[in-house]
Structures are given as C-alpha cells and as structure tokens.
Structure 1
C-alpha cells in the first residue's frame, strides 16, 4: 500500500524527540542551585495540615534487564541492601525533623526492585515511617514488584505491612522478545505471583506492558495483551519503549535492527488501544487502561486525574517527598532530586544533611505552563491562557494540519487518532525545550 502524504507527515512527527512530561519543567533542567538547604526551607514552610505523598526508591535489582530506563544496579549480596535500608530509616527521620507536615495519604515504593530489601528491612523502614509520620489516613500503599521474585512468603509480608496495590513488571510474554531484552519470565510465573497477592488480600493489581520492543510484532503484542487480560488486572500501563542508549549504556545490548520502526510502533499503539477497549478497559491519559470502576478511570471522567513522576495518578497530595538515591520530589515551591550515587546519598544522610543533588524553583510562568501541560496530558483538551495559546500556535499548526488536534479560538483538543502524539502538543507549551538534552521519540 502506498504511503500517503498525511501518513508521511505523521511518521516524521512521531520520530521527533520530546519529553514524557511527568513534570514541568522536566528533569534535565534541574540544577545544583537548589540543594538540601533549599529543600529544608521549603519543607519548613509546609502547613502542618498539608497532605503528603511519599515515594521510596530502591535502586537495586537481582539482574539488569536490557530495556530498563530506571536508576538501578545489580546486587546479589545482602550487605548493601541492609546498609541502604539503614540510610532510608535515617532519611525518614531527617525529613520528619524538617517539616511540620505529618499526614501521609499515598505511599509508593519504586526501583529497582524494592522487595529485594527483604522482609526484615521492609518492616524496619515501615516502622520508621509509622513512628515519624501519620499513616492512619493512607489511601494507597503501592509497591512495584518483579514477578520472578514474588513468592507466597513475600506476599504475606507485604500484606502485613499494609500494601494494598501492587504493580507487576510484565513487559511482554513472548519468548523471543524476553530473550532479546534479558528478562525470561513465562506466563506461569506471573500467574503464580498474581495468585500469591490475591490470596493474601492484595487485590488491586497493575500490569506494566511495553510496545516497541525488539522482535515484537502485532500478533505477539496482541497475545501478551490477551494473556494479561486473562489474569484480570485492574490497570494496564502500556508504555512505548524508550531507546536511550546514550543515557542507559546497557541498552546497547539490544540489537537496534530488531526494534520496530516508527510506523510499526504507531500500528502497535493503535492496535493495543483498540484491543484493550474491546476487552472492556477505558483509556486513561496517554498510556493507561483501566476497568471502568477503577478510581483512575473515574478521575479521568471527572477531570481530577493528575500526572506526576510515577505517571498517571489520583494522588492530589500537597507535596510529594522522595526518599532514597535519585528520588524526585515535588513541593509547592519547586522540584528536588536526591543524589543518584548511592554512596554519596548515604554519606549525606549520615552527616545529617538532606541529600539533594539538584532541583528547580518554579517561576509563575513555569506554574502556568505546567498546569496547561498537565491538563492536556490528562484530559486531551485544554483552554490555555490566551497569551500561551497564541505563542504556541506556530508549533501547533503542523499538528492541526496532520489531523492530530483541533485548534480553536480558545481551546485545543486532541483528535482520537492524534492521541498517541499527545507529547508533541504538550511540547508546544514548553518554554525550556530548546535548551533540553536528548529525549526518546514522540510515539
């Protein structure tokens, strides 16, 4: 079939490099001028009644997957994990001393593989959190898990710690793809892990899938979606693989010639969206699909969906505080990121310093643009302030001509077929983009 001019235009747009917009401004613009002393001032200014969301990052895995874009490293020894847990406990105390705010509504463990800390260390960290913060109103306690290490014993321990949502890294069920990305994980392994969680009362389950992986075709992706659906997760996040070997050197293990091209990625995204809709899932934002009764779907319908460093969420806490090496926080005044190197992070904590490496204080213009970008990323439509819309029109017009969005006098709206290009529309409002580093492709 001959490629049309419109198809050619869209293919070119899909190959553009743009951020994922889990924050605005995005992390490449953070700078060392925002440090631990700055964070201390911001924390002290929080209202005692402010609600908090806590994110704990554990940068360790038992093995490195070739596709991974997370900040993590491999360890097979217990000593580094024990030391890391000890520093987490100390950092919790540091944060608590710095702020009058205590009320935690959301708690999320990410990584890496947080459960690699072990049941004893997880309990130590939770005890410290309960000692220093008020967890009585915790609406969600979530943890990212590797199904390959999800045992019945671990599920029992997590339930005992109050975990009520688990996110499983599924990625793809096809053996050829699993070999190419270095993650051998048969369906039966995931099925067993799901059984352990549900058998111990952890019923809210998220699956992470990825499209755009090496040797991944439409038929194989459809099979992975069908198998995932057979386990009835509440949410499926379908991310486009971000191939950034200049940032993540282990991604060089992936043979680039085996990666699907941009047209194939577009076909995969479209097929997956249509298939998940037929299976009864509602599309939420750019890449999430949920059951209609899920709180995320309800938030999308009523306009209260949010987007932060963990992706789409119902979390509306006044401040997100990050703990652990490389973790990112968001406060009313701006963004902060911890030291990424584990040793440097531990030394700062041991010295009684908030272990901030860099951050960014938000200007009024940043806040205005950030609100526009977040609403567009969540709602697919936005009515920006008139001056921002006028300034963005030159960048938006090519997207309008390609049928990706409708541009009106005071509002822009993504078309149904244009939704995979959402990040391009958001980029039109990014005043910092011309100074950014390299990013992954738009679709």
Structure 2
C-alpha cells in the first residue's frame, strides 16, 4: 500500500457511508419474504425508527439526487398516500404490537407538499398501526416555498420536534442556476412560525460546490443563515451525478467549482460556522453546544444512518414508501424506487422490497470501524477487540498498515485516528476499510 497524496484524496470519488455495505452493493437476494422474517424477529420492547418517503415535489431542483418526481397536480400525491397507508397497515400487522417507535422522520421529495389534512391523517395512521413512545422525536424536511399557516399548524399538531429546512444558497445567481429560488425573508418567516408553534429544534441545510458559487457568495449565505440561529447546520458538497440523475444535466458543468475550490469552500464554511459558536459534528454537521447532537458527539453516542448524522440510538430503522431503505439487525433492505411498481406490490399485499443485503460478521466489523471513523474520526483497538473478538485482528492489521503509509491516518496509543488536519478526508480514509468498493462497478460523488 502506498501513500495517497492529498490532492488525490480531494479528487477521489467515494461513498458517503450512510450505511455499510453501501446501497450499490445491494442485490435481489433479499426479498419481501426475507424482510418479513426480519420483522418477525423484532423484540417486544425493541426501539424502532421509522422513515417515510414522500416521492413528489412541486418543482424539481436541478441539484437534487433524491428519488422524487415533479407534479403540478395533487391527485398523484393523494393516490400515493393511499398506497402508503396500506404499507403502514401491512407492516403494523406484521409487528403485531412489538417494538416501540422512538423516532419518526418524514423525508422526500418534499413532505411539506402534503396538504395539512393529509399530514395529520398520515400520523393518525402511524399511531393506529405502531406503538409510538410519548416522547418520540418527529423530524420533517421542509421546503420553505411550500409552507403556509395551515401547514405550520399541522406540523405542530403532529408533534414535530425538529424541522430541517433546505436553503442551499441565498445568492440569486446560484439559485437560478440550480432552479431553487428562495428568499431569505421567506425562510426567516417559516423559522419564526415554527418556533412560535413550539417546534424545539431547527436545522438548515446548505451546499458548497454549486454553479457560480464562490467563497464570497457562500460566506454571505452562511452569514444570513446563522443570523437565524438554527440549532444545527449541515453543509454538504454538491454531488454532481448526471449519470444517476438526468435532470442534473441542466447544470452547466463549466460553472462548477473545481476540486481545489470545493476544498477551499468546505474549509472556509467550517471556519465561519465554528467562529459563530457552533461545534463541528463529523464531516459536514455543526451544532450549538446545548444541542442533543453535540451532546451525542461529546459522549461517543453519535451514529450515522441513511439520513446522515444522528443521535438516534435505534438499531432498527423501517423505511416506508418507494426507494426507502430499512436497516435491521440482520441486514439492509430497499423498496422499489418506482412509484408504479411500489403501488402494484402493495396492492398485491406484498412488501415493496426489491433488493438488500444480509450482513456477514465481517460486514459488521467493517461497518463499525467505518461508522466510528465517520463519527469520531478514529477507533480504539481495545474497543474493537472487545466487541468482535479475534475476528478484529484482520482489520487491526489493515489499520496498522494504513498508518504506516498514509500521513492522514495515525496511531495514538491504543487509538487509530484520522489526523486533526485531515478530517475532511474521512470518507476517503474510511474507504480503505470497504471490502466491497473494488468488487463491483459503482460511481460515487466526489469525496469533498
């Protein structure tokens, strides 16, 4: 193994590691019958998280890589909800009262496209089919342009505890280039409306690496965003993957910042956010010191799932809706991304699962190491041995070799760690422990 220069790490395309193994390595050997068995194995008091996917938007942002489609009519959304209700009831019957839901995440697409009455009906169905803890967290992804007073009231009524607002960038030229025009005044009004209604935590999502974006324009966006004093800030690198999402061809690649400019934007953004009193969490999140995510990071409880960094400790996550991914103790499973195929499978009283992966013992070891690198930027050899026994030795040998050959990965006593100045390279360092990465063709986004 030879050392990889820093400029190569910047330019490397690697997974985001919201799971391990990552989704490109899922296969059709995991079926609805497989997942039915996994659900049957859930224990009566087992903690569960739910993710519900709303695969529609009333406008298509050209930067987006989510599984969604644009619609100007509400009828397809209403038809989809009827299928989602059936899936909720099906999974609920399979659970038969087992498991306790501790967290619910509503994502998309644009969940706030739902009409207020439908939003409340959806949560009524969830409460009918699942045992939901009284203190369960409820997080909702919000497009501020969808919002009105009635939707704000509905979010409060369903018990929203955290709202995540997509901002991306406030610069008008950048907004036009990504088809996401959204004013600061609109965003501020929605955040004020949420807080007035008792939503206790607000986070904002920003992007770097966008067309026409510069350090100066990004700095202005950060200044405006932080003036709203969100509890959390996430700043992701724009993933230009037009081979995966054809609408991204609407973005002129000549207007995108190069690798060095992306690195400068990522570093500059982190500096500005930290100077405003936020603590860095992993590679792309920041939180106020009193926030629960900051507490989880301090206490070594930070985890990573398909929604990114979280303080949600639930090992079992059940995904509902097309393209959603579930995580069980036995493995991962993904629903079909096609809304049509999803509807047909649900109408046939079948789970909509089309692929997944059963975890091996080696998968669990490598997954734990990769998660700790992404969350804590390192791991203890003693902790690895304690958790996995003699099977950990192979990974420890790989870690020792990497520490000898990479200036970004070091040994500090019992701990293997990414160097303090190399945290932005965490995805590339984690990829060294990914045994699947070279086994199948899969195209990924840029590491930074």
Classify the TM-score, shorter chain.
Answer: over 0.9
Q: 1:257 to 1:396 in 2, by over 3 A?
A: farther
Displacement of 1:408: 5.2
Question: What is the aligned residue count?
Answer: 434
Q: Which residue of 2 is the match for residue 391 of structure 1?
A: 398
Q: Deviations over 1:160-199 (max 9, x none)?
A: 1111211000001111110111101111111111122112
2:415 maps to 1:418: no
Q: Which residue of 2 is the match for residue 47 of structure 1?
A: 43
2:441 maps to 1:440: no
The 5 Å alignment of 1:217-296 reads: 217-296=214-293
Displacement of 1:18: 0.6
Query: Which of 332, 335, 342 is matched with 1:338 structurally?
Result: 335
Q: Which residue of 1 is the match for residue 320 of structure 2?
A: 323
Is the Cα contact below 8 Å between 2:120 and 2:157 reproduced in 1?
no
Displacement of 1:416: 2.4
Q: Which residue of 1 is the match for residue 55 of structure 2?
A: 59
Q: Deviations over 1:276-316 (max 9, x none)?
A: 11100000011000000000000001100010000000111
| Distance in 2 of aligned mates of 1:409 and 1:424 | 23
TM-score by length of 2: 0.94
Q: Which residue of 1 is the match for residue 347 of structure 2?
A: 350
Runs of 4+ in 1 over 6 A off after TM superposition: none
Q: Which residue of 1 is the match for residue 386 of structure 2?
A: none
Displacement of 1:398: 4.7
Query: Which of 112, 133, 138 is matched with 1:136 structurally?
Result: 133
| Distance in 1 of aligned mates of 2:64 and 2:421 | 29
Q: Which residue of 1 is the match for residue 385 of structure 2?
A: none
| Distance in 2 of aligned mates of 1:155 and 1:131 | 23
| Distance in 1 of aligned mates of 2:69 and 2:308 | 22
Question: What 5-or-longer segments of structure 1 have no aligned partner?
Answer: 1-5
| Distance in 2 of aligned mates of 1:129 and 1:138 | 15
Q: Which residue of 2 is the match for residue 3 of structure 1?
A: none
Q: Secondary structure at the match of 1:434?
A: coil
Q: Secondary structure at the match of 1:137?
A: strand
| Distance in 1 of aligned mates of 2:237 and 2:393 | 33
Displacement of 1:415: 1.9
Moved more, 93-102 or 59-68: 93-102
Displacement of 1:99: 2.1
Question: What 5-or-longer segments of structure 2 have no aligned partner?
Answer: 382-391
| Distance in 2 of aligned mates of 1:316 and 1:273 | 26
Instruction: Supply the RMSD in Å over aligned alpha carbons.
Output: 1.5
Is the Cα contact below 8 Å between 2:171 and 2:217 reproduced in 1?
yes
